[in-house]
Structure 1
């Protein structure tokens, strides 16, 4: 079964044609969520993820039809292959920031965390993503502290140089959340994490703009990138 998006040529496509393609893709996505897997759940998830990449990256089409399919793509991948951790690093910010569905993202990340093992490569980052959602969109600082604590725990279980460094950063974030009274700095720090971890320029630019709205500025000093706020 081939996605309609894979058939698009460089020829000019009308707005109406984009809408027809969107409807076909939605029908196909719904079908992929319902058909028996016959042991091929991971292949179905891979197929949907490839469609997501094409869909998300088609700027012209998204200007016409928006990002309506992102939450369904995300949900279908989680249902089919919850251990597909690397896919979430694009699916979550895309669904949160472009489809405007942070609650959906939080629910699906939580669902995936129930299936993923702590030692799976980069699984700890799902807790970091959940913590950011809790700070920026869910108004749940206590939940965020727990998420960062779990991120540190899982990162230590992965036990690589990179994960151990991430564990230290997550532990620092817990202390920061416990002591920092300025909500701007907490929010700015969460947006900086999105900026640093972004896999695409669209997400990075949104994070930069949100930091600017808070009155902050991203500063680079050597190997360190921070958010600087003017003294009140």
Structure 2
């Protein structure tokens, strides 16, 4: 009888937890996103603070066996957050890794999330180290066969390591592993990934210096809608690699090093 009550109670507790978190999320954030009037920066920052608190609560909340459901739900919230270009142009994308920490903790095999994680956290938020760290943790739960095409996660990680973290050795290993995982499959897509990843790993072993490639990657960050902190980070990285950034009303002009 006791076990039966526990079996019934667990889903109810999970539902109440989800309902509670939803109530935290909905009052202002959803109204803000749908409003036709442009909200003030003060209101936006207040709502982002509330969203940050909600995500922190989700990190600590037990899943009661509903990890995949929570991951899907948070991913939908992330898509809404990322897709609001007008607001992101004012605040940047600093909450991106917080969404993915929740998503991948609940469902580390959520393959689509890794692709969004890499672009949103690395390129838009300018936090490649955070993106790489989340992928490294998630990869501990993956295998060459589960989920399907999981070799792409190694490629995303390798790209971030190569272009943004200046870690050529780790990038070479990531591309080599992507090739190994993809070579387990005979379909055309997997074979192409295996071949291209192996070529990249081989190239990096022979050409460890990739300054111009790394500068180009940080230029991508600089040209996206980013906050002031991320803009300064991108300029600092470009200059540390030997490039020069000249700002003008027409945009940024990048001077690459002679080599």
Same fold (TM over 0.5): yes
Checking the alignment, whether the CA contact within 8 Å between 1:41 and 1:81 is kept in structure 2 is yes
Query: Aligned Cα RMSD in Å?
Result: 2.8
> Which residue is equivalent to 2:144?
118
Which digits, 9 at most, give the CA deviation of each residue in 1:31-78, with x for residues without a partner? 111111110011111111111111111122223332221121111111
Q: Name the residue aligned to 2:34.
A: 9
Of the three residues 171, 179, 182, the one matched with 2:198 is 171
Q: Secondary structure at the match of 2:65?
A: coil
Distance 1:57 1:148 in 2: 30
Gaps of 5+ in 1: 196-201, 204-209, 215-228
Could you say which residue in structure 2 is the equivalent of 1:226? Answer: none
Higher mean displacement: 33-42 or 8-17:
8-17
The total of aligned residue pairs comes to 201
CA distance in 2, matches of 1:49, 1:181: 36
Report the TM-score when normalising by structure 1.
0.76
| 2:94 matches 1:68 | yes
The question of 1:96 aligning with 2:122 is answered yes
CA distance in 1, matches of 2:127, 2:108: 19
**Aligned-partner Cα distance in 2 for 1:111–1:172:** 26
Q: Tell me the distance in 1 between the aligned counterparts of 2:93 and 2:211.
A: 29
